[in-house]
Amino acid sequence: MQLDSVFTALAHPARRAMLARLGRGEATVGELAEPLEMSLPAVTKHLKMLERAGLISRGKDAQWRPCKLETAPLEMAADWIENQRKIWEDRLDRLENYLHTLAEQEKKP
């Protein structure tokens, strides 16, 4: 299930920082590593998790292979949360309406 790997990928601050950086444009592995104070192998490991989750793709230029953000899996994750929000907001609306009806009935003699 892709949602599993997307949420797992989002569960680490370094990977979220990489995604945030790539949201501003393509970057090489070196550019992604620079602000992270992390070894290059550690960075590569995080990048592989992002790639497996479909959150980034790599360019084909053998030397640079710039990383690029793929937004579709993020949309999928946002949609899941958004669907839950609809369900709980509908429930709260119904509850509010019910309480309102009760209050109106109380007013009647």
Which residues contact a copy of itself (rule: CB under 8 A)? 1, 3-8, 10-13, 16, 19-20, 23-25, 69, 71, 74-75, 77-78, 80-82, 84-85, 87-88, 91
| CB atoms closer than 10 angstroms to residue 9 | 24
Amino acid at 13: P
DSSP E strands: which ranges in 1-109?
56-58, 67-69
Taking the complex as a whole, the smallest distance from the CB of residue 18 to a copy of itself amounts, in Å, to 11
3-state class (DSSP) for residue 67: strand
Q: How far is the CB of 3 from a copy of itself (least distance, A)?
A: 7
Beta carbon nearer to a copy of itself, 10 or 29: 10
Hunting for tokens 């992002």 — which residue is that?
50
The three-point CA angle 67-75-71 to 5° equals 15
Nearer to a copy of itself, 15 or 33 (CB): 15
Report the nearest approach of a copy of itself to the CB of residue 109 (Å). Answer: 33
